[in-house]
């Protein structure tokens, strides 16, 4: 657990560590989408990072129950940690689908989603570093970029599902692809949720 000189939990540093862990998972996912081996072979690596993320989130939650003075409103810290955890859960859940749906290949849409998620996670990490310096107005540039990336995620899902229904193949295989696209889009939504909370911080503290 991280502490300040006053023996308080360093929530902002914990959020940065959680964002770094989530970005690492996103990079592993992107590698899986671009590798020649089945994506499911990297599932355990992401699962381990997801477990580490849960531990960081739990440390933040426990700290909020013990510390009286926090650098932000308790609800802001709680929501940031929870929403970031949703991003990591989404990455893990997306990769899990390759495993239990027995999907062994990737496509252009999956690779596009991977780029969107990595870029979004990088922006979240950069935003948390700015947040730790209390440069609230600078957060806006990150929240806007994450929102734009979420729009790209929406486009990828629409185009992917359109491709399924315009070039129908085996219905079971089509279902698998649709399931993966939709879960990946939900993960980009979770990234935007983090951005929305950061936007609220801007309005509250700037």
> 11-205 adopts what CATH topology?
Methane Monooxygenase Hydroxylase; Chain G, domain 1 (1.20.58)
Query: Rounded CA gap, 93 and 56, in Å?
Result: 19
Question: How buried is residue 47: exposed, middle or buried, by Cβ count under 10 Å (0-12/13-18/19+)?
Answer: middle
DSSP state letters, 119-140 = HHHHHHHHHHHHHHTT-GGGHH
Number of neighbours of residue 191 by Cβ within 10 angstroms: 28
For residues 107 and 169, is the Cβ–Cβ distance under 8 A?
no
For residues 198 and 131, is the Cβ–Cβ distance under 8 A?
yes
Number of neighbours of residue 28 by Cβ within 10 angstroms: 20
For residues 91 and 190, is the Cβ–Cβ distance under 8 A?
no
Task: Give 83's Cβ-side CA count (13 Å radius).
Answer: 19
Quick: pLDDT tens for 120-157: 999 999 999 999 999 999 999 999 999 999 999 999 99
Quick: pLDDT tens for 34-91: 998 999 899 999 999 999 999 999 999 999 998 888 999 999 999 999 999 999 999 9
Q: What is the pLDDT of residue 162?
A: 96
Q: What is the pLDDT of residue 4?
A: 43
Domains of the chain: which residue ranges? 11-205
Query: Rounded CA gap, 147 and 15, in Å?
Result: 20
């Amino acid at each position: 657990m991280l502490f300040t000189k006053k023996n308080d939990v360093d929530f902002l540093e914990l959020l940065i560590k959680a964002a770094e862990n989530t970005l690492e998972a996103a990079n592993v996912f992107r590698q899986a989408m671009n590798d020649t081996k089945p994506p499911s072979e990297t599932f355990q690596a992401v699962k381990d990072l997801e477990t580490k993320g849960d531990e960081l989130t739990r440390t933040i939650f426990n700290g909020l129950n013990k510390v009286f003075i926090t650098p932000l409103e308790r609800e802001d810290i709680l929501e940031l940690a929870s929403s970031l955890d949703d991003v990591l859960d989404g990455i893990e859940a997306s990769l899990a689908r390759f495993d239990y749906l027995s999907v062994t290949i990737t496509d252009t849409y999956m690779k596009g989603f991977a780029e969107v998620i990595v870029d979004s996670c990088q922006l979240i990490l950069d935003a948390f570093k700015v947040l730790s310096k209390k440069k609230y107005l600078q957060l806006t540039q990150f929240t806007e970029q994450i929102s734009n990336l979420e729009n790209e995620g929406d486009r990828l899902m629409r185009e992917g599902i359109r491709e399924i229904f315009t070039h129908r193949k085996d219905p079971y295989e089509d279902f698998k692809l649709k399931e993966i696209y939709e879960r990946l889009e939900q993960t980009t939504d979770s990234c935007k949720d983090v951005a929305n909370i950061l936007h609220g911080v801007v309005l509250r503290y700037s």
